[in-house]
Amino acid sequence: QKVARALRAGETVQPERYECVSIFFSDVVGYTDLCGQLQPGEVMDLVHRLYSRFDDLIRELRLFKVETVGDAYLAVGNLRWPQPGDHARLMAQFALAAVRAASSLPVHPDRPELGTVHVRVGLHCGPVVGSVVGTLNRRFCLFGDAVNTAARMEHNSEADRINCSAAFAALLREQWPEGPCAVSRGVRQVKGKG
């Protein structure tokens, strides 16, 4: 709300540091191929149906949708509403529900041969800076290594799977000890990370 008020007043929005947020990235598996099999309006319908489901879950869990770019969806917890004791749990619940929602969604309602949507998900937690950037179509953006790491977790995930960093898994165990168990995939080389 503070950012929206400043934008309406034509004021500059000062960058703000958030010490620990949970970050969600998802991507539709085979999106480029699907775009080649569908008409432009059908692609937009698919993305709209999928993101409407994700948006409903975001509202329900009081998380914050940062942006969508093509088939990528970025959300964060412990940013808009303080959730210091359970943002990792809420984000994990969202990720699980998002994978279920996608896998039950037909690619095209009248073309069952195309099957259902499959997403890859990446989760990480850490510090970020949030600010409004640009002069045209100004929008709120997140910056920091934690955002890059969450994106890398998604990139290294698999269809219908949630890939999280060791940091996120550790925080999740603290915040949701009775929750689903994260299974280690072992040490992985992640492009762009030391």
5-58: per-residue pLDDT in tens? 777 777 777 899 999 999 999 999 999 999 999 999 999 999 999 999 999 999
Q: What is the pTM assigned to this prediction?
A: 0.91
- CB atoms near residue 67 (< 10 Å): 12
**To which H or E segment does residue 80 belong?**
none
Distance in angstroms (rounded) separating the CA atoms of residues 116 and 105:
5
Residue 182 pLDDT: 77
CA distance to 55, 164, 174, per residue, from 181 (Å): 26, 12, 12
Write down all domains in the chain, each with its CATH number in brackets: 2-175 (3.30.70.1230)
44-76 tens-digit pLDDT: 999 999 999 999 999 999 999 999 999 999 999
